[in-house]
Structure 1
């Protein structure tokens, strides 16, 4: 009888330790995710670039006429599209950094 009781005690203790280890790992991973997202927020901010780009484009439109104006506007529009694409890639990266529920 003591063997059965000892086995259950050992089983329950191992289960408790395993759950504690899972919680510790999960909390460490969550802090790493939060740190990575904070770093991404600090190093990647495209809004000022985009705003400055639009201001410059508006000023250039009024400085040139004809084909030169059209060429510059097309070039700035292409650059703006590249900025939007870079922003989408950043957003995808930012959103992909998370803990998966199925991991546990």
Structure 2
């Protein structure tokens, strides 16, 4: 019984730790961060993403607080209909990840 309780406790701790690592931010909170200068403007972040794939169109965006930093996720579709997933540091505008979505 103690082993089973320990197992459930471990699973609960690991699961809750993972949830605490990344948190989606709503539009109101995102605008407050932008207005405070904590993150770049959304126009600048989108421009940085499109600069990696000129002519692409934005399909979706999302702002998260993950591992102590703000990450702006952008989904693009290029002229060849390829979908790209990019992650940018929302504070600096640096592209952190850029990969084709299969």
Same fold (TM over 0.5): no
Q: 1 or 2, which has the higher strand percentage?
A: 2
Higher RCO (CA 8 Å, separation ≥ 6 residues): 1
Q: 1 or 2, which has the higher helix percentage?
A: 1
- TM-score where L is the length of structure 2: 0.31
- TM-score where L is the length of structure 1: 0.31
